[in-house]
């Protein structure tokens, strides 16, 4: 019989900066769920990846003086990049998609065309607000105090020719999906979506842009690139081969899957994504689970706020499994949680070193000391002393399963640790060291006590495997549990270990952490990482070679600044009126306000490329681009407009 298929995904990460502990939280949780389903014996496909298009990446690459692809390549594939982080964190993804992968790009063009051909995408003019960091469009009424409702930052006016997706057409179906099925969890997110988006009325969604080029081009209208969220959301099916020939897993029944996402992107996953799928005539996801945020000092971590926690530093200091465990044990998965180093150390010391570590080391040490490591077959079971522990162990798998099926890994761990704590208490109740004083009389009882402890440890070990795979392998080796007694089935069985089990005390699984020392070391590691980062600048890269004819097509001209002023409501833009020698004024907008006072530039002789297609910024047309030189000083970007001899007349061609 074919195994049951289970397809689970993380969001694809935006590689504008290195990933932090919040991203790690989301991926570890999804990994734990994927491993749990493998433990159940299901055929699991686990997808993660990176979402690499959009204006933010284009801008960041320009600032760094590299191409957008070079920029994302470094963060995704480079040292301590996204791939390295998932390897370090022992993430067991089966597939990794990058939205710049050719097969994905091809699928996006196919999907866009299909949505267009079936009448759900039409052309119009977009006027609204755009939050650049979030890559999100908002209507005026959705803003919070005039700012982005997700991140609280300034939004920009946006107006351009654009394609729209008929999201409004799907409003009733989406309401039904949210209200009458358990598609979206936790339930509180359903209420948020209905109140904030469905009740006020769904508006059609702008799904293409013309003012930047780093995206998937609309193949039937090349000035447009596909809106980054349409591009990104589709990854869940393009990675299975939808619309491309790279894979054929879509047809093989892997879809629909489970989308695990953070709460701020639930809107995209529970409204826009199902509507797109409905329009394509494809099934909606089985589940969308919106987890909470890890907060630092009560606020969301973000690189721009400078309050991110580096998962590399934590994993190197405390161990990967301890970090994975902490993330899942401490924060209820659907809610926000406050991260702190102190909490991390406390969790390691209490649960792992004291409770689980001690249980394993005491049990294996006693088996070694009293029986040379191999338990004798003669046993004395004492019902009134043993039954409670046995019952608890035998009931554990069901409780754990119930929690995991409800996307509550924290609850599953709570149940496991009830058993770990009960087992430690059982040691104190049965005082093996007293029994050992009279081995002739009490040897069989002592063997029975130790066997009970080993069995309790084994079952807990199985259920902890998705959370701490490497440490549980070591635990199984110490308690003499071979692969046949590490299975899901055997987690509901008592006495699966052989009667004459051989135990081998090994190294402490989870050493106790000295809080003060660890905090000092962490501080030093964070400082060292900062120093290293400020010293590292992106190596200057020479651009891809272009042939001479292509180069000659660029029309560089000397221009004279007739007037220059700041563009209203823009923090970056200056508006130039230029004499380009043609007798007609040329208007160019340039994002250089940070470096120049507009008045100081009037009368200057500059260089511009004049044959770029006009583009609109903040509702104003810009015809060309001024040429500048950019470099970095102490990690800060510095820009110089290229100024040439005033004796050169306007319109002179550079060649
Ligand atoms: O949203 N705590 O990418 P992203 C918990 N590219 N989770 C956090 C977090 C925190 N402090 N910070 C971030 C994107 N996350 C899009 C996804 S999917 C088609 C496209 C989570 O790199 C966040 O909630 O900004 C999101 O689920 C994930 O990290 C990726 O965030």
Atom of ligand 1 nearest to the CA of 273: 19
Q: How many A from CA of 11 to the centre of ligand 1?
A: 6
- pLDDT the model gives residue 297: 81
Q: How many A from CA of 294 to the centre of ligand 1?
A: 11
Mean pLDDT across the chain, nearest whole number?
93
Average of per-residue pLDDT across 320-324? 98
Tokens standing for 16? 């504008």
Average of per-residue pLDDT across 356-375? 97
- Containing H/E element for 351? none
pLDDT band per the 50, 70, 90 thresholds, residue 142: confident
- pLDDT the model gives residue 545: 66
Looking at ligand 1, which residue's alpha carbon is closest to its atom 30? 13
Q: How many A from CA of 114 to the centre of ligand 1?
A: 28
Q: Is the CB of 233 under 6 A from ligand 1?
A: yes
Atom of ligand 1 nearest to the CA of 13: 22
Question: Residue 602: exposed, middle, or buried by beta-carbon count in 10 A (0-12, 13-18, 19+)?
Answer: middle
Q: Is the CB of 300 under 6 A from ligand 1?
A: yes
Average of per-residue pLDDT across 435-460? 98
Q: CA separation (Å) from 629 to 73, 100, 436, 571, 623?
A: 24, 28, 81, 20, 20
Q: Is the CB of 13 under 6 A from ligand 1?
A: yes
Q: Is the CB of 130 under 6 A from ligand 1?
A: no
For 350-365, write each residue's pLDDT tens digit: 999 999 999 999 999 9
Q: Is the CB of 18 under 6 A from ligand 1?
A: no
Question: Residue 629: exposed, middle, or buried by beta-carbon count in 10 A (0-12, 13-18, 19+)?
Answer: exposed
| Beta strands 574-579 and 556-566, pairing class | antiparallel
Q: Work out the percent of the chain whose per-residue pLDDT is above 70.
A: 97
Q: How many A from CA of 100 to the centre of ligand 1?
A: 19
In contact, 420 and 359? CB cutoff 8 Å: yes
Looking at ligand 1, which residue's alpha carbon is closest to its atom 26? 262
Query: Could you count the other beta carbons within 10 Å of the beta carbon of residue 257?
Result: 22
Atom of ligand 1 nearest to the CA of 232: 19
Placement of tokens 């699984």 in the chain: 509
For 555-611, write each residue's pLDDT tens digit: 999 999 999 999 887 778 899 999 999 999 999 999 898 899 999 999 999 999 999
Average of per-residue pLDDT across 183-201? 97
Q: How many A from CA of 13 to the centre of ligand 1?
A: 6
Q: How many A from CA of 456 to the centre of ligand 1?
A: 38
- pLDDT the model gives residue 541: 46
pTM: 0.81
End-to-end CA distance of the chain: 71
Question: Residue 628: exposed, middle, or buried by beta-carbon count in 10 A (0-12, 13-18, 19+)?
Answer: middle
Q: DSSP for 243-311, please give it.
A: TSSS--TTTTT--S-EEEEEGGGHHIIIIIHHHHHHHHT-PPPSEEEEE--EEETTEE--GGGT----H
Q: Is the CB of 60 under 6 A from ligand 1?
A: no
Question: Residue 452: exposed, middle, or buried by beta-carbon count in 10 A (0-12, 13-18, 19+)?
Answer: buried
Instruction: Tell me: pLDDT of 511 over 90.
Output: yes
- pLDDT the model gives residue 620: 84
- More confident call, 305 vs 295: 295
Phi, psi of 62 (to 5 degrees): -60, -45
Atom of ligand 1 nearest to the CA of 23: 29
Q: Is the CB of 318 under 6 A from ligand 1?
A: no
Q: How many A from CA of 53 to the centre of ligand 1?
A: 15
Dist CA 416 CA 401 (whole Å): 11
Q: Is the CB of 137 under 6 A from ligand 1?
A: no
In contact, 561 and 606? CB cutoff 8 Å: yes
- pLDDT the model gives residue 539: 44
Dist CA 354 CA 94 (whole Å): 35
Looking at ligand 1, which residue's alpha carbon is closest to its atom 12? 22
- pLDDT the model gives residue 537: 44
- pLDDT the model gives residue 448: 98
Q: Is the CB of 296 under 6 A from ligand 1?
A: no
Q: Is the CB of 23 under 6 A from ligand 1?
A: yes
Q: How many A from CA of 293 to the centre of ligand 1?
A: 9
Dist CA 283 CA 293 (whole Å): 29
Q: Is the CB of 505 under 6 A from ligand 1?
A: no
Contacts of 288 (CB under 8 A, 6+ apart): 183, 184, 185, 258, 259, 261, 266, 269, 270, 273
Tokens standing for 470? 């490497």
Tokens standing for 285? 């996801």
Q: Is the CB of 271 under 6 A from ligand 1?
A: no
Q: Is the CB of 334 under 6 A from ligand 1?
A: no
In the chain, count H helices and then E strands.
22, 24
Q: Report angle CA 458, 460, 465 to the nearest 5 degrees.
A: 95
Ligand 1 pocket test: which of 262, 266, 269, 272 has the largest number of ligand atoms within 8 Å of its C-beta? 262
Dist CA 290 CA 205 (whole Å): 22
Instruction: Tell me: pLDDT of 388 over 60.
Output: yes
Residue 636: strand pairing partners: 633
Report whether the peptide linkage leading into residue 34 is cis, meaning its omega lies within 30 degrees of zero: no
For 529-565, write each residue's pLDDT tens digit: 887 776 544 444 445 566 787 788 889 999 999 999 9
Atom of ligand 1 nearest to the CA of 292: 5
For 55-103, write each residue's pLDDT tens digit: 899 989 998 999 999 999 999 999 999 999 999 999 999 999 999 999 9
């Amino acid at each position: 019989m074919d195994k049951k298929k289970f397809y689970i995904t993380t969001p694809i990460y935006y590689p504008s900066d290195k990933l932090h502990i919040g991203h790690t939280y989301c991926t570890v949780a999804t990994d734990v769920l994927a491993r749990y389903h493998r433990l159940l014996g299901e055929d699991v496909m686990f997808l993660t990846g990176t979402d690499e298009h959009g204006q933010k990446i284009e801008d960041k690459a320009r600032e760094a003086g590299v191409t957008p692809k070079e920029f994302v390549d470094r963060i995704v594939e480079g040292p301590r990049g996204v791939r390295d982080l998932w390897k370090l964190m022992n993430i067991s993804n089966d597939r990794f998609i990058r939205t710049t992968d050719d097969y994905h790009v091809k699928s996006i063009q196919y999907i866009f065309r299909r949505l267009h051909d079936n009448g759900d995408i039409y052309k119009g003019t977009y006027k609204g607000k755009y939050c650049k960091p979030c890559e999100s469009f908002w209507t005026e009424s959705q803003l919070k105090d005039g700012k982005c409702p997700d991140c609280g930052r300034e939004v920009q006016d946006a107006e351009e020719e654009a394609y729209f997706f008929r999201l409004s057409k799907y409003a009733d179906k989406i309401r039904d999906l949210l209200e009458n099925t358990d598609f979206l969890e936790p339930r509180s997110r359903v209420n948020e979506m209905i109140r904030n988006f469905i009740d006020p009325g769904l508006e059609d969604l702008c799904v293409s842009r013309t003012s930047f080029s780093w995206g998937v081009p609309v193949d039937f209208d090349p000035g447009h690139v596909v809106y980054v969220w349409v591009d990104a959301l589709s990854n869940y099916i393009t990675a299975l081969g939808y619309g491309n020939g790279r894979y054929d897993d879509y047809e093989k029944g892997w879809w629909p899957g489970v989308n695990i996402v953070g709460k701020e992107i639930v809107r995209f996953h529970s409204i826009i994504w199902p509507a797109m799928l409905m329009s394509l005539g494809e099934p909606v996801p089985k589940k969308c689970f919106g987890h909470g945020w890890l907060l630092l000092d009560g606020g969301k971590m973000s690189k721009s706020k400078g309050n991110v926690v580096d998962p590399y530093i934590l994993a190197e200091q405390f161990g990967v499994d301890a970090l994975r465990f902490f993330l899942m044990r401490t924060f209820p998965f659907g809610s926000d949680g406050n991260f702190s180093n102190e909490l991390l150390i406390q969790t390691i010391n209490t649960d792992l070193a004291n409770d689980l570590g001690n249980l394993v080391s005491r049990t294996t040490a006693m088996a070694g000391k009293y029986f040379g490591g191999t338990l004798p077959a003669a046993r004395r079971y004492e019902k009134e002393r043993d039954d409670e522990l046995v019952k608890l162990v035998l009931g554990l798998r069901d409780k754990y399963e119930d929690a995991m099926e409800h996307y509550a890994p924290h609850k599953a761990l709570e149940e496991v640790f009830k058993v770990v704590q009960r087992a430690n208490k059982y040691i104190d109740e049965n005082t093996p060291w007293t029994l050992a004083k009279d081995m002739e009389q009490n040897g069989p009882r002592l063997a029975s006590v130790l066997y009970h402890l080993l069995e309790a440890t084994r079952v807990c070990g199985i259920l902890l495997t998705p959370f701490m795979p490497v440490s549980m392998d070591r635990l199984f080796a110490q308690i003499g549990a071979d692969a046949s007694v590490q299975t899901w089935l055997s987690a509901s069985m008592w006495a699966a270990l052989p009667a004459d089990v051989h135990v081998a005390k090994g190294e402490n699984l989870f050493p106790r952490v000295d809080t003060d020392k660890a905090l000092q070391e962490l501080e030093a590691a964070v400082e060292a990482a900062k120093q290293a980062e400020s010293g590292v600048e992106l190596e200057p890269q020479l651009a891809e070679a272009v042939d001479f004819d292509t180069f000659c097509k660029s029309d560089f001209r000397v221009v004279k600044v007739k007037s220059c002023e700041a563009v209203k409501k823009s923090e970056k833009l200056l508006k130039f009126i230029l004499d380009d020698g043609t007798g007609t004024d040329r208007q160019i907008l340039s994002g250089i306000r940070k470096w120049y006072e507009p008045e100081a530039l009037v009368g200057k002789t500059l260089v511009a490329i004049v044959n770029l297609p006009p583009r609109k910024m903040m509702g104003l047309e810009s015809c060309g681009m001024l040429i500048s030189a950019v470099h970095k000083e102490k990690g800060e970007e510095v820009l110089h407009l290229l100024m040439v001899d005033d004796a050169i007349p306007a319109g002179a061609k550079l060649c």
